[in-house]
Amino acid sequence: QVQLVESGGGLVQAGGSLRLSCAASGRAFSTYAMAWFRQAPGKEREFVAAISWSTNYKNYAESVKGRFTISRDNAKNTVYLQMNSLKPEDTAVYYCAAPRRSYSTFTSPKVDDYDYWGQGTQVTVSS
């Protein structure tokens, strides 16, 4: 079993930055991929970014490319999402997720490929 706890959300003005963190426990963190998803009110949960367990592979949604950066610190069992140049349309609850199993290049953007989810952290970007 894996437990995921997000933090770092908040209210920020458009153009600002936030860094989200997701602390993982319950399994060897360095052996599985990690991802961030988000869900705005009335919308489906959508992919934001993913990073392989080897850290050599990263995948981003087109809407965040060039603005968001995913990274991980295996020594701290933590994955990060650095969000720059935030826009009002980035407003959502952000979730980190992990698959039960993953291969070294795994960076799937599909919700159904992830088995463990955090409780979410709210990000609100004001215009």
- Structure confidence at residue 27 (pLDDT): 82
Q: What is the mean pLDDT of the chain?
A: 95
Structure confidence by residue, pLDDT tens digits, 34-70: 999 999 999 999 999 999 988 689 999 999 999 999 9
Res. 75: pLDDT tops 80: yes
Once rounded to an integer, what is the mean pLDDT over residues 84-105? Answer: 94
Q: Which of 20, 19, 12, 45 is nearest to 124 (CA)?
A: 12
How far apart CA 46 and CA 116 sit, in angstroms, is: 15
- CA 59, 62, 68: angle at the middle one, nearest 5? 65
Q: Tell me the two tokens of residue 106.
A: 């795994």
Instruction: State residue 56's pLDDT score.
Output: 81
- pLDDT for 103 equals 82
